[in-house]
Amino acid sequence: MQKVLLIDTNFSSAPIYHYLVQSGFDVFVVGGNPNDFLARSVKNHINLNYSIVEQIRALIEEKCFDYIVPGCNDLSYQICAEINSKGEFYGLDTPETTETINNKYKFRAFAAKIGLPVPRLFPEEKTGKKRPLIVKPVDAYSGHGLTVLRKFQQKELSAAIDRAKKFSHSRTCIVEEFVEGQLYSHSAFIRQGKIFADFIVEEYNTTNPFVVDTSRVIFSFPKKMLNSIRDSITFMAEKLNLVDGLVHTQFIQKGNSFWLIEITRRCPGDLYSQLIELSTGFKYAQTYARPFVRQQYPKKNNPLKKNWIMRHTMSLPAEGVLGSMRFNVPAAIEKMLPISLAGDHVKASPYGRIALIFLRSKSEKELLKLYKKTLDRSLYTIQNTY
């Protein structure tokens, strides 16, 4: 039996794990948090901090793993790419390509060079004072260390730069124009440089302005803009010589324009795979895992299903004690993953979460009503007493 090392123990990697097991592999998971879902629920958990590359290399040699699979965070993919610097494993870009994609400064510079639509970068000392700005660590995620400056003041800019650098492992940041519009994600699987299957998801943040917590698949995205996004992704894939696999992109759309914000090659978190699968029937987690274990893509589901599903992460804008969750309107919960328990002290988003829920509606109109209530935070009430 061939052995696979899945480098992540978060609950979002569980669908990947289960597919690999169902495919007949002997699957191990590695991660340094014994309280993570997979760490507690599977027999082959290795309690090891996978950010230390040499330790993971030694583990792979000791256990003779045939394949390695990154999970649902950027670090896991980066570590896999670095381990694969000699090309021993499958489905992974080179470390240099991975750094170009994941490092915000390098990606902006690369994108601007080849003509991809991205926000304009400014040197720290020359910022374009009449523009709204956003300051970001080059290598942090989930909204950590971000500051939006709608009116320029040098004191506030300096403070934002200092804050961003504190959240950066390399102590570096970018200052770029702040583009406003609707946030979406484009999740595409490429094969030989062409898009095999792709999806558009509308994304909102209701608790923290920089953390997506509410989303739904969009089945009627404007065809012309979708083709432009596809052209950008395939052009980038050609220029970077990307291997077959997932290319997941967040972009902002306003009017007839769009800007690429972030691109990753790992599976998105918060069970994004399940949003796609419940909404369309497309086997997202399976398709993601296949290139890493030398499997061909599955046959397409034609036509895809059209289910009215929304995904929402229940969290708090300010820390507090979790009591009960009261739904203010009827809602059909398709799936729920509890993350915190009653009595837990829950930190504010993005550091704490209560539950991840998927709601199903009979029609788009009905779903939009639930969606609106979720966005204005009236769908449910979190109570700390009964």
Both 130 and 83 in a single domain?
no
Higher pLDDT: 358 or 160? It is 358
**Is residue 302 predicted with pLDDT exceeding 80?**
no
20 with 87, same domain: the answer is: yes
Is the same domain home to 11 and 79? yes
pLDDT the model gives residue 106: 93
Chain segment 92-143, per-residue pLDDT in tens: 999 999 999 999 899 999 999 999 999 998 876 666 567 788 898 888 776 7
Partners of 225 in the β-ladder? none
Whether residue 315 is found in the same domain as residue 376: yes
Q: Does residue 348 fall inside a structural domain?
A: yes
Q: Do 359 and 331 form a contact (C-beta atoms < 8 A)?
A: yes
Do 128 and 87 have their domain in common? no
Cβ within 8 Å of residue 48, ≥6 positions away: 30, 31, 32, 55, 56, 59
- Residues 66 and 138 grouped into a single domain: no
Residue 128, pLDDT score: 57
User: Does residue 51 lie in a domain region?
Assistant: yes
Does residue 301 register a pLDDT over 70? no
pLDDT tens digits, 15-62: 999 999 999 999 999 999 999 999 999 999 999 999 999 999 999 999
Q: Residue 127 has what pLDDT?
A: 61
47 inside domain: yes
**How far apart, in whole angstroms, are the C-alpha atoms of residue 295 and residue 230?**
24
pLDDT at 307: 97
Provide the token pair at 350: 């993005």
- In the three-class reduction of DSSP (H, G, I as helix; E, B as strand; rest coil), residue 5 is classed as strand
Tokens 């995205």 map to which residue?
221
Looking at 161, 177, 193, which one is the last position of a domain? 177
Range of the domain at 30: 3-93
Stretch 151-168: mean pLDDT: 84
Q: Are residues 130 and 68 in the same domain?
A: no
In a shared domain, residues 15 and 81:
yes
Q: Cα separation of 39 and 48, whole Å?
A: 11
Picking from 177, 196, 212, the residue at the C-terminal end of a domain is 177
Residue 272 has pLDDT above 60, yes or no: yes
Q: Are 82 and 135 within one domain? A: no
Q: CA torsion angle for 11, 15, 20, 38 (degrees, to 10)?
A: 20
pLDDT digits (tens, 9 = 90+) for 180-198: 999 999 999 999 999 999 9
What's the CATH number where 89 sits? 3.40.50.20
Looking at the structure, tell me whether residues 83 and 7 fall in a common domain: yes
What pLDDT is stored for residue 22 in this prediction?
A: 97
Is 273 a domain residue?
Answer: no
Tell whether 115 is covered by a domain.
no
Report the relative pairing of strands 355-361 and 308-314 from DSSP bridges: antiparallel
Q: What is the mean pLDDT of the chain?
A: 92
Contacts of 275 (CB under 8 A, 6+ apart): 201, 215, 216, 217, 309, 311, 358
pLDDT winner (highest mean) among 138-142, 264-268, 300-304, 379-383: 264-268
**Closest alpha carbon to 30 in 87, 95, 79:** 79
SS3 call for 349: coil
Q: Please check whether residue 317 lies inside any domain of the structure.
A: yes
Per the domain annotation, does 12 fall within a domain?
yes
pLDDT at 386: 54
Number of domains making up the chain: 3
CATH of the domain at 380: 3.90.1170.60
More confident residue, 211 or 186: 186
C-beta of residue 336 within 8 angstroms of C-beta of residue 364 = no
The per-residue pLDDT for range 236-262, each reduced to its tens digit, is 999 999 999 999 999 999 999 999 999
| 32 and 78 part of one domain | yes
Cα dihedral across residues 19, 192, 281, 272: positive or negative: positive
CATH code of the domain containing 146: 3.30.1490.20
Going by pLDDT thresholds of 50, 70 and 90, the confidence category of residue 314 is very high
For residue 129, the model assigns a pLDDT of 63
pLDDT given at position 139 = 80
Q: Which residue, among 289, 226, 250, 366, has the nearest Cα to 91 in the 3D structure?
A: 289
Asked if 76 and 24 sit in the same domain, the reply is yes
Q: Could you tell me if residue 232 is inside a domain?
A: no
State residue 172's pLDDT score: 87
pLDDT in tens, 345-382: 999 888 899 999 999 999 999 999 999 999 999 999 98
Q: Taking 60 as the threshold, does the pLDDT of residue 385 lie above it?
A: no
What is the average per-residue pLDDT within 284-313?
92
